[in-house]
Amino acid sequence: MAKFNRIYTQFADLPNKGKNYCNHFPYINKNPKPIDIMAHFPCEKIQYEGPSSKNPFAFKHYNPEEMVAGKSMKEHLRFAAPYWHVMRNVLADPFGGGTAQMPWDDGSDSVENALARVDVFFEFLDKMGIEYYCWHDRDIAPELNDLSASNAALDQVVAKLKQKQSETGVKLLWGTACLFAHPRYSQGAATSPDANIYAYAGAQVKKALESTKELDGLGYTFWGGREGYSTLLNTNMKRELDHLAAFLHMAVAHADKIGFDGPFYIEPKPREPSTHQYDSDSAACLNFLREYGLMDRFTLNIETNHATLAGHTMEHELTVAANAGKLGSIDANRGDTLIGWDTDQFPTDLYLTTQVMLVVLNTGGFTTGGLNFDAKRRRESHEPIDLIHAHVGGMDTFARGLKIAQAIREDGRLANFVQERYSSFDSNVGATVESGSCTFEELEAHAMAHGEPSLASGRQEMLENLINEFI
Ligand code: XUL
Ligand code: CO
């Protein structure tokens, strides 16, 4: 009852002034069923109603059990929710503080508050039908005065998450350690110039990895938030990269020791917060992993907005990873071309989700990875229900992307065009090039014998029109 009063009192401060919270949304519940006033997200479980539905609290395209190319939509898409955005993002921006209403959160660093958030998060997952989630250690539990106190707090929250996972069947897609928020990491964590800080970071990853294992996490992510530099004047890049590689090798060794056999993901991002981050894009990450003998256990977790910041398209970043057999998982969001930072918006662009799903389907789909909405609401969308709208949109847009991508694959014209475009490499001199046996003498003889070649059109506009047939 105390809890009821607390929540109800806080709701009463909101614009709808203590009425049933759903009165705030007059366009739903034409036939109102009683809604639990205790619910933190005032809507019922989101259901599939089909493309003609006008209900904002329904999926128009995401129909979890619907089969697409022999697999259900939910198996293809493997949606995950990020604990940091859903539960912890107060929606601040560089010019103003947080706006997000979180009536369940008392704002304290107590373990009790952290435990209370877990229930709210699982209510959210249940309402959305999202079966995977991701966390940083410091999203789920507070950082306290010393490492052992922080570890003990983490243990308590992990125990509750474990219980909730077993009650609901929800799975941890990946865990990670926050090695970028605390001031100690301002000059890097695994690339810090200070070995004491490096050690602290190692201890934190050790614990985060053990917690991931405890929760049967499918993977573990490294996003090198501060692993880069602000100026080369004070930086020994070679030593920093050597240290980073040693750190990742220690993570692999510890994973082997505790029996965590999931993949490690590296998440590329070029800048922000640092001027230059070592994991700047897919190609840089792959080069780093190859150079330091880390290819076996690592794959990439690719984020749309990070691709944009790197001056690439998401399709490019995914393709680079896929070509190396290293497309592990996706942080699904989008940027804004008018704002130069990581806006982490929800993916609502059909062209984008179609391109993403084309690459994913062409690689045979996710194994351990999935689509993690590393996305946040706009600062103006401060009500808890906006989290529901945001995820409904992201899931529906990806469901459409999946269906469109599969239709393009079934149609076959796009793939046939590309295959035909390279068909001169299927025989004669082209085939010897691909087999690795060709020499410059042979190329010269071929060029002499064949005269000036006639080059076919790339047909970009025709292919763009073709894609639009499906969108
Ligand atoms: C930051 C970002 C992170 C990672 C996990 O831009 O994407 O949230 O996904 O550390
Ligand atoms: Co991310």
Distance CA 300, CA 234 (A): 29
- Mean pLDDT, residues 69-93: 98
Neighbours of 254 (CB within 10 A): 16
pLDDT band at 250 (very low <50, low <70, confident <90, very high): very high
Which pLDDT score is estimated for 38?
A: 52
Distance CA 435, CA 364 (A): 25
| Active-site residue, 139 included | yes
Determine the distance from the C-alpha atom of residue 93 to the mean position of all C-alpha atoms in its chain, rounded to a whole number: 21
396-431 pLDDT per residue, tens: 999 999 999 999 999 999 999 999 999 999 999 999
Cα torsion 357, 360, 362, 365 to 10°: value is -120
115-170 pLDDT per residue, tens: 999 999 999 999 999 999 999 999 999 999 999 999 999 999 999 999 999 999 99
Which of 179, 182, 269 is the pocket-test mutation for ligand 1 (most atoms within 8 Å of CB)? 269
Hey, what amino acid is at 221? T
Q: Whose CA is nearest to atom 4 of ligand 1?
A: 223
Cα-to-centroid distance, 427 and ligand 2 (Å) = 44
- Mean pLDDT, residues 252-263: 98
| Residue 19 burial (C-beta neighbours within 10 Å; 0-12, 13-18, 19+) | exposed
Establish whether residue 210 lines the binding site of ligand 1, counting it when its CB lies within 6 angstroms of any ligand atom.
no
Question: Is the pLDDT reported for residue 394 higher than 80?
Answer: yes
Establish whether residue 265 lines the binding site of ligand 1, counting it when its CB lies within 6 angstroms of any ligand atom.
no
Establish whether residue 139 lines the binding site of ligand 1, counting it when its CB lies within 6 angstroms of any ligand atom.
no
Establish whether residue 303 lines the binding site of ligand 1, counting it when its CB lies within 6 angstroms of any ligand atom.
yes
- Mean pLDDT, residues 191-205: 98
Q: Which of 137, 139, 331, 344 is catalytic?
A: 139
Question: Is the pLDDT reported for residue 13 higher than 90?
Answer: no
Distance CA 206, CA 200 (A): 10
Distance CA 216, CA 221 (A): 14
| Active-site residue, 136 included | yes
Residue 220 in tokens: 């573990």
Q: Could you tell me the end-to-end alpha-carbon distance of the chain, in angstroms, rounded to an integer? A: 51
pTM: 0.92
Hey, what amino acid is at 427? S
Cα-to-centroid distance, 223 and ligand 1 (Å) = 6
Establish whether residue 269 lines the binding site of ligand 1, counting it when its CB lies within 6 angstroms of any ligand atom.
yes
Question: Is the pLDDT reported for residue 3 higher than 50?
Answer: no
Cα-to-centroid distance, 327 and ligand 2 (Å) = 15
Distance CA 6, CA 458 (A): 64
Question: Is the pLDDT reported for residue 308 higher than 50?
Answer: yes
Question: Is the pLDDT reported for residue 244 higher than 60?
Answer: yes
All residues at 6 or more sequence positions from 466 whose CB lies less than 8 Å from its CB, including other chains: 413, 414
DSSP conformation letters of 233-249:
GG--HHHHHHHHHHHHH
Instruction: For the chain, give the percent of residues with pLDDT over 70.
Output: 92
* pLDDT, mean over the chain: 92
Cα-to-centroid distance, 187 and ligand 2 (Å) = 20
Reported as type and span, the H/E element at residue 184 is none
Torsion sign over Cα 162, 164, 166, 172: negative
Are 41 and 25 within 8 A, CB to CB? Answer: no
Which pLDDT score is estimated for 33?
A: 43
Kindly give the number of the ligand 1 atom that is closest to the alpha carbon of 331: 9
DSSP conformation letters of 106-159:
-----HHHHHHHHHHHHHHHHHHT--EEEEEHHHHS---SSHHHHHHHHHHHHH
Distance CA 387, CA 393 (A): 10
Cis omega before residue 273 (within 30°)?
A: yes
**What residue has token string 């529901």?**
388
Residue 232 in tokens: 């080369």
Which pLDDT score is estimated for 29?
A: 36
All residues at 6 or more sequence positions from 67 whose CB lies less than 8 Å from its CB, including other chains: 73
Establish whether residue 176 lines the binding site of ligand 1, counting it when its CB lies within 6 angstroms of any ligand atom.
yes
Is the pLDDT higher at 61 or at 30?
61
Ion ligand 2 nearby residues (CB, 5 A): 303, 331, 374
Q: Whose CA is nearest to atom 2 of ligand 1?
A: 223
Which pLDDT score is estimated for 6?
A: 32
Which pLDDT score is estimated for 34?
A: 42
